[in-house]
């Protein structure tokens, strides 16, 4: 009997503690779900900081759990030291158990960055510089970036797929770039498998170079296959590509917005007026549509095209026809 008198209070206390534990852990944090406040955990911050924020969220949404209770529950569940840094969206009418699980799994608010089509490495760095990332790629030139990301090419130019990418705040730029490069390889290899016969490319990389030129030369999506036909036909003759975007790329920061006759005559590795064949590397990011066009040109024997001024192009087969089109759409303006 004496033993029972000693044990009974302990059993009652244990029952009360268990009831409190279950009630607090599995009840909703708050009553309202009109807003979804955010909770931020910085590197090195512990359960006390998390508990304070969750208690404030609960109070603002009709709940009544204290920071001390939340911190104790985090300790009792073994989660207190497992919370991952980042910014989280918290639904007030969610239980602490679910919230703890979210923080342990690191289900942070997804943030997005858009890498556009037809942009250079320099422009990609400018886009990434505005994102909430750890800027570990800003000092890389095209060769250094390729080496840092283990890209099997002399340059990172064109080796990043243009798309929208989710990232966690503070994530390294190189991590996003690796995902973008891996996606480029998947897209390029898939299109390579569906390529037309008798193309003047030996490798997918050469096709990607052509795709980047098509991307920069095309103002209207429906023209891509015809622009591709012009350049593919020229490579087969052979005839120089003579494409202005490649000259502009070769000029780098010296390009001030206008291309001159002297620029076309000034030799660089990317000047397709002075050099035969493709450029040494891509000159910009290329969309799937441009990659597909490079690998599936229109069945046409066109050799020339000129911009009409509305985004579309006039395609011709002979130099005489081309000169007439230039006179009609360019010189008369």
**Are residues 88 and 51 part of one domain?**
yes
Q: Are 140 and 148 in contact (CB under 8 A)?
A: yes
Alpha helices in 27-137 (DSSP H): 47-60, 67-76, 96-105, 121-129
Q: How many CB atoms lie within 10 A of CB 49?
A: 17
pLDDT, residue 69, reads 87
**Minimal CA–CA distance to 224: which of 144, 131, 305?**
305
Which CATH number characterizes residue 72's domain? 3.30.1490.480
**Are residues 246 and 163 part of one domain?**
no
Tell me, yes or no, whether 10 lies in a domain: no
**Are residues 278 and 258 part of one domain?**
yes
Sequence-ordered list of residues with C-beta below 8 angstroms from that of 25, at least 6 positions apart, any chain: 73, 77, 95, 96, 97
**Are residues 317 and 273 part of one domain?**
yes
**Are residues 324 and 249 part of one domain?**
yes
Q: Are 96 and 29 in contact (CB under 8 A)?
A: yes
pLDDT, residue 246, reads 97
**Are residues 243 and 322 part of one domain?**
yes
Strand partners, 86: 41
**Are residues 80 and 164 part of one domain?**
no
Tell me, yes or no, whether 25 lies in a domain: no
**Are residues 120 and 103 part of one domain?**
no
Provide the whole-model pTM. 0.78
What would the DSSP string read from start to end of 72-101?
A: HHHHHTT-TTTPPPEEEE--TTSBHHHHHH
pLDDT, residue 119, reads 97
pLDDT, residue 43, reads 80
CA 95 to chain centre: 34
- The residue among 188, 213, 237 that closes a domain is 188
**Are residues 201 and 320 part of one domain?**
yes
**Are residues 255 and 209 part of one domain?**
yes
Q: Are 274 and 280 in contact (CB under 8 A)?
A: no
Cα dihedral 207→263→157→302 (10° resolution): -20
Tell me, yes or no, whether 84 lies in a domain: yes
Tell me, yes or no, whether 16 lies in a domain: no
Please give the backbone phi and psi of residue 276, each rounded to the nearest 5 degrees, phi first: -80, 160
Q: What gap in Å lies between CA 289 and CA 303, rounded to an integer?
A: 21
The reply to whether omega before 238 is within 30° of 0 (cis) is: yes
Please, what is the Cα angle at 252 between 130 and 250, to 5 degrees? 135
Tell me, yes or no, whether 23 lies in a domain: no
pLDDT, residue 11, reads 62
Tell me, yes or no, whether 278 lies in a domain: yes
Q: What gap in Å lies between CA 167 and CA 184, rounded to an integer?
A: 18
Q: What gap in Å lies between CA 103 and CA 160, rounded to an integer?
A: 32
Q: How much is the CA Rg of the chain, to the nearest whole Å?
A: 30
- The residue among 109, 141, 176 that closes a domain is 109
Which structural domain range is residue 230 located in? 196-331
Tell me, yes or no, whether 5 lies in a domain: no
**Residue 173: enclosing H or E segment and its boundaries?**
helix 173-193
The domain total for the chain is 3
Q: 4-9, long-range: CB within 8 Å, 24+ apart, which pairs?
A: none
Q: Are 238 and 268 in contact (CB under 8 A)?
A: no
**Minimal CA–CA distance to 97: which of 66, 67, 73?**
73
Tell me, yes or no, whether 149 lies in a domain: yes
**Are residues 225 and 104 part of one domain?**
no
- The residue among 109, 126, 150 that closes a domain is 109
Cα dihedral 147→151→157→161 (10° resolution): -140
Q: How high is the mean pLDDT in each 10-residue block of the chain (333 residues)?
A: 58 63 78 78 87 89 86 86 88 87 88 95 97 95 97 97 91 96 98 97 98 95 96 97 96 89 94 97 98 98 92 93 90 62
**Are residues 168 and 209 part of one domain?**
no
């Amino acid at each position: 009997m004496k033993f029972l008198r000693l044990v009974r209070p302990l059993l009652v206390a244990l029952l009360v503690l268990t009831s409190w534990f279950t009630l607090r852990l599995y009840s909703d944090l708050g009553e309202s779900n009109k807003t979804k406040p955010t909770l931020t955990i910085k590197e090195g911050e512990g359960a006390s900081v998390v508990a304070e924020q969750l208690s404030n969220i609960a109070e603002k949404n009709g709940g009544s759990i204290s920071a001390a209770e939340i911190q104790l529950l985090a300790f009792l569940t073994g989660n207190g030291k497992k919370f991952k840094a980042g910014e989280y969206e918290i639904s007030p009418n969610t239980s602490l158990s679910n919230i703890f699980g979210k923080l342990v799994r690191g289900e942070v608010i997804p943030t997005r960055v858009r890498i556009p089509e037809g942009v250079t490495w320099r422009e990609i760095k400018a886009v990434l510089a505005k994102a909430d990332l750890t800027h570990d790629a800003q000092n890389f030139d095209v060769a250094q970036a390729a080496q840092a990301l283990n890209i099997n090419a002399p340059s990172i130019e064109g080796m990043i797929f243009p798309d929208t990418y989710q990232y966690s705040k503070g994530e390294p730029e190189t991590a996003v770039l690796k995902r973008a490069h891996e996606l480029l390889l998947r897209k390029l290899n898939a299109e390579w498998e569906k390529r037309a016969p008798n193309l003047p490319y030996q490798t997918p990389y050469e096709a990607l170079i052509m795709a980047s030129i098509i991307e920069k030369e095309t103002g209207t999506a429906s023209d891509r296959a015809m622009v591709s036909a012009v350049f593919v036909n020229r490579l087969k003759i052979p005839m120089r590509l003579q494409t202005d975007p490649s000259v502009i790329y070769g000029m780098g920061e010296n390009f001030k917005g206008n291309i001159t006759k002297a620029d076309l005559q000034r030799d660089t590795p990317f000047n397709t007026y002075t050099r035969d064949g493709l450029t040494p590397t891509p000159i910009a990011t290329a969309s799937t549509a441009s990659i597909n066009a490079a690998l599936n040109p229109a069945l046409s024997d066109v050799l020339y095209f000129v911009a009409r001024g509305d985004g579309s192009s006039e395609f011709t087969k002979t130099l005489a026809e081309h000169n007439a089109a230039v006179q009609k759409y360019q010189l008369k303006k």
